[in-house]
């Protein structure tokens, strides 16, 4: 369960890396906060991978195989320290 996304940090300003990540996960969105991933601002930028109804088999359900592949491919990048669920409090 999560609140609709998983999040991770990337080095700020690395456009080549961002392009590689967008090739793996085209729907990522940036956010100016530290997030649950604990980005080191301003050196890092927070990104979200949506986990909504398109990516899940049911609302708040398991990720589809394609979404798991996308999340795992992003998580495997050496620049991604951790990938965590988003929880809005």
Q: Per residue in 11-44, pLDDT tens?
A: 999 999 999 999 999 999 999 999 999 999 999 9
Q: With cut-offs at 50, 70 and 90, classify the pLDDT of residue 87.
A: confident
Q: How confident is the model at residue 53 (pLDDT cuts 50, 70, 90)?
A: confident
Cβ atoms < 10 Å from Cβ of 2 = 15
Architecture of the structural domain at 5-85: 2-Layer Sandwich (3.30)
Token pair of 49 as six digits: 């991978």
**What is the Cα–Cα distance from 70 to 55, expressed in whole angstroms?**
10
* 2 has pLDDT over 70: no
Lateral strand order in the sheet of 5-11: 29-31, 44-50, 5-11, 84-85
Tell me the pTM: 0.91
User: What's the angle, vertex CA 68, arms to CA 26 and CA 45, rounded to 5?
Assistant: 45
Domain boundaries, the chain: 5-85
Contact call for residues 85 and 6 (beta carbons, < 8 A): yes
Q: How far apart are CA 51 and CA 86, in angstroms?
A: 10
Distance CA 74, CA 49 (A): 9
């Amino acid at each position: 369960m999560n609140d609709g996304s998983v999040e991770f940090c990337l080095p700020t300003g690395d456009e080549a890396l961002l392009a590689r990540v967008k090739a793996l996960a085209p729907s990522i969105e940036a956010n100016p906060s530290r997030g649950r991933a604990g980005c080191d601002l301003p050196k890092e930028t927070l990104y979200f991978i949506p986990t909504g109804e398109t990516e899940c088999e049911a609302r708040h359900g398991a990720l589809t195989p394609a979404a798991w592949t996308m999340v795992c491919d992003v998580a495997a990048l050496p620049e991604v320290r951790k990938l965590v669920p988003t929880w809005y409090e």
